[in-house]
Structure 1
Amino acid sequence: MNILVLGSGGREHTFAYKIAQSDLCDSLFVAPGNAGTASIATNVPIAVTDFSAIKELVIEKNIKMVVVGPEDPLVKGISDFFKSDSELNDIVVIGPSKEGAQLEGSKEYAKEFLFRHDIPTAAYQSFTAETVEEGKKFLETLSSPYVLKADGLAAGKGVLILQDIEEAKSELENMLTNKKFGAASEKVVIEEFLDGIELSVFVLTDGKNYVTLPTAKDYKRIGEGDTGLNTGGMGAISPVPFANASFMSKIEEQIVKPTVNGLAKENIDYKGFIFIGLIKVGDDPKVIEYNVRMGDPETEAVLPRIQTDLVQLFKHVGEQSLNEAHLEIDERSATTVMTVSGGYPEAYEKGKEISGIDTISDSIVFHAGTKIEEGKVVTNGGRVIAVTSFDNDFRIALQKSYANIEKLHFDKMYFRKDLGFDL
């Protein structure tokens, strides 16, 4: 079977890495891909939201499965595009319908879904530019810190957590009237702050059945000790040590089952990943957010632990037979450390030559923001390369990742040296 992966980051390189290992995959294409995917697949310079160009490629290359990496094409309705086209509707698309993608595309939609299905989450209200004064009054009913979330997609950066009420009021105004996050903040969700430790749970569903994939914890802040600006993610550890069997059983009963059942009850066509961002408050899990695809960099720690043939799992999704799938997981810990460009997540330069990739051993290298220029691998994004390592003890796995990162070089390279500090 010929397979297409959409996207260009570390997540998509990881998908390509796993799919390329499957006997079920004949030819693998990645659009647009990066320098890492170029070595195991055919990169095609097509944007992930250029649906007509994707259709041409799929027909020309006789592609039978499309794995959607990022959220943008899902929110814009790529699954519906395939389903409604007689030339494409027999192709398996791993990713939910446009309606299902609203779980990530709109924070308000997600909160309403959570409340409808009695899934534990924080109290909230939504506001627009017209109701900004009511929003300020609502802030006064909450205690510090204050959580403001841009309703739409803001590439993982549209959430502010503020200690001071005056600052919270001013940022609310900034988001709603000055469009701090552009169209994403035309509506803002103000949420009760939940105090606890976070983790991510990943579910693959065919719309009826599901399998729960390994847990992970990612590190969003740029600075050590979780300080500074939010990023797309500086690293991840899988599994999460504190997610023991009884806690996982609560997550399954209180969150995973009602989510999958809720989608089915509402006739929402959902075949793909559900990423559930959770927080452990005391001994109880609560949902912070849904994403409708795998996380990045969590994918680079979670997928390498899956020993089952990934394409076979995706075939089960297409056939709605995930209940027949047997998931085998590597019991060891996987740790991913992300190297980033100097200045990220603010302004940074691209085109810096990367050396030392071929000297890395006993770890897996996943390219994120890279491309090939004049035969050399150069930086092409804020997050550049992820290094994933295994060990029975996540601390030793981290040491392996750090030791291998020391062999990598590009101008102004930065990475966090304190991952796992809170575990």
Structure 2
Amino acid sequence: MNILLIGSGGRESAFAYKISQSPLASQLFIAPGNAGTGAYGKNIDIKATDFEALGSFALEHHIELVVVGPEEPLVKGIHDFFLENEQLRNIPVIGPTAEGAQLEGSKDFSKQFMQRHGIPTAASRSFTKDTLEEGLQYLETRSLPIVLKADGLAAGKGVLICSDLSEAKAELRAMLAEAKFGQASNKVVIEDFLKGIELSVFVLTDGKDYKILPSAKDYKRIGEGDTGLNTGGMGSVSPVPFADAAFLSKVENQIIKPTIDGLRKDNIHYKGFIFIGLMNDNGNPSVVEYNVRMGDPETESVLIRIESDFVDLLLGVAEENLASKTFHVSEKTAATVMLVSGGYPGKYENGKVISGLENVKESLLFHAGTALINEEVQTAGGRVLAVTALKDNLLEALQQATADAGRIYFEGKNFRRDIGFDLINY
């Protein structure tokens, strides 16, 4: 079958790799793709949010399945665009409609959803510019640290953790009165701080049934020892050693089942991935956030552990018979180390030539911010390459991925050498 994959990051590189392994995939197109995705299919120069062009391409090339990688086209309604077009509506889209995508597109929507369906999460209230004074008063009643979340999509930068009351008040004013995050902070969720250790659990659902994908933990801070600024993710590991069977059973019964049931009760027909960001506080899970797609760089560690035919699973979602699909996960451990541009997550330069890719033989390379220019692979983003190793245990996977990260060169290259080493003793 002909498949169209939408997106251009490391997550989409991992999707392309996994889709290309399936005998069910005859042709794979990636829009727009990057310098690495061309190894698994054909890159198409169409933006992920250009729905008209994507629809025309799907018709012209007899696309039979559309897989949406990033959140922006989902929140903007790409699934709805296909459903509302008579010629496109029979092409299955993996990813929720705009209504379901509000689980990620609106923090206020997701908090109300969790409260309505009894899903454990931090206490919170939402405020707008008109209720700023009430928000400032509310801050005085809460314990510190406190979390401020821009309601809308803010490119991963709309969450602030404030340890000081005056800082929290200043940031709330900046978000609401001064539009610190643009329209994304027209509304702000003030949320109690959750204690514990974070992890992610991923679910694939056809709207009725679900498969729980491997758990993962990512590392957001730029500096070793989890120091410095937040990034889009500097690496990940899967599985998560502290997420044992007892904990994951709680996650399934207290969070996953109520989430799927809640979507159905709210008449939101949801087909696709649900990424549940969790806090594990002494074995008790709480939801930090929902995302309506796979994570990045978690996908790079999660997908290579799935031994089942990935396209067959996606067809199970499209045809609403996911429960009948076989699903096997490798017992091995995956570790991913991200190579990033010098200066990231601040100002950085693109166009740096990447060399040494051929030196990596034991790990998989998933391109993220790369471009092929004059037959040279060059940097084209802050997060450039994901180096992923799959080994028998965590230490071996971490050592391999870290060693291979050192075998690649571009000017200004930076990567963390301590990804996952905090988990060795679990």
TM normalised by structure 2 equals: 0.98
Deviation at 1:42, TM superposition (A): 0.7
Distance in 2 of aligned mates of 1:155 and 1:95: 19
Distance in 1 of aligned mates of 2:22 and 2:206: 20
Distance in 1 of aligned mates of 2:44 and 2:16: 14
Structure 1 counterpart of 2:227: 227
Asked whether the equivalents of residues 308 and 326 of structure 1 are also in contact (C-alpha less than 8 Å), the reply is yes
Structure 1 counterpart of 2:252: 252
Structure 1 counterpart of 2:344: 344
Q: 1:203-218 counterparts in 2 under 5 A?
A: 203-218=203-218
Deviations 1:157-195 (CA, angstroms, capped at 9, x unpaired): 110111111011101111111111111111110000011
Q: Which amino acid aligns with 1:27?
A: Q
Q: Which amino acid aligns with 2:114?
A: L
Matched, 1:179 2:170: no
Distance in 2 of aligned mates of 1:86 and 1:387: 42
Distance in 2 of aligned mates of 1:230 and 1:186: 22
Deviates more, 1:191-200 or 1:138-147: 138-147
Matched, 1:384 2:399: no
Distance in 1 of aligned mates of 2:242 and 2:76: 36
Deviation at 1:135, TM superposition (A): 1.0
Structure 1 counterpart of 2:144: 144
Distance in 2 of aligned mates of 1:237 and 1:11: 14
Structure 1 counterpart of 2:417: 417
Query: What secondary structure does 1:366 align onto?
Result: strand
RMSD: 0.8
Deviation at 1:421, TM superposition (A): 3.7
Structure 1 counterpart of 2:125: 125
Distance in 1 of aligned mates of 2:183 and 2:374: 38
Deviations 1:228-280 (CA, angstroms, capped at 9, x unpaired): 21111110000000011111100000000000111111110210000000001
Distance in 2 of aligned mates of 1:64 and 1:39: 21
Distance in 1 of aligned mates of 2:399 and 2:178: 44
Pair 422,141 (structure 1): closer, same or farther in 2 beyond 3 Å: farther
Structure 1 counterpart of 2:64: 64
Deviation at 1:304, TM superposition (A): 0.5
Distance in 2 of aligned mates of 1:402 and 1:227: 19
Once superposed, which parts of structure 1, at least 4 consecutive aligned residues long, lie more than 3 Å away?
A: none
Structure 2 counterpart of 1:374: 374
Matched, 1:92 2:106: no
Deviation at 1:375, TM superposition (A): 0.4
Structure 2 counterpart of 1:269: 269
Matched, 1:113 2:113: yes
Structure 2 counterpart of 1:44: 44
Deviations 1:257-314 (CA, angstroms, capped at 9, x unpaired): 0001111111102100000000011221000000000000000000010011111001
Query: What secondary structure does 1:63 align onto?
Result: coil
Q: Which amino acid aligns with 2:416?
A: R
Distance in 2 of aligned mates of 1:395 and 1:207: 38
Deviation at 1:422, TM superposition (A): 3.1
Deviations 1:2-24 (CA, angstroms, capped at 9, x unpaired): 00100000000100000011110
Percent of matched pairs sharing the same residue: 61
Asked whether the equivalents of residues 32 and 44 of structure 1 are also in contact (C-alpha less than 8 Å), the reply is yes
Structure 2 counterpart of 1:11: 11
Which runs of 5 or more residues in structure 1 are unaligned? none
Count of residue pairs brought into register by the alignment: 423
Structure 2 counterpart of 1:322: 322
Deviations 1:364-414 (CA, angstroms, capped at 9, x unpaired): 000000010000000000000000001222122111011111110001000
Asked whether the equivalents of residues 147 and 159 of structure 1 are also in contact (C-alpha less than 8 Å), the reply is yes
Asked whether the equivalents of residues 225 and 421 of structure 1 are also in contact (C-alpha less than 8 Å), the reply is no
Structure 1 counterpart of 2:134: 134
TM normalised by structure 1 equals: 0.99
Distance in 1 of aligned mates of 2:406 and 2:137: 51
Q: Which amino acid aligns with 2:166?
A: E
Structure 1 counterpart of 2:82: 82
Which runs of 5 or more residues in structure 2 are unaligned? none
Distance in 1 of aligned mates of 2:176 and 2:221: 24
Deviation at 1:222, TM superposition (A): 1.1
Structure 2 counterpart of 1:359: 359
Distance in 1 of aligned mates of 2:94 and 2:40: 20
Q: Which amino acid aligns with 1:400?
A: Q
Query: What secondary structure does 1:384 align onto?
Result: strand
Q: Which amino acid aligns with 1:315?
A: L
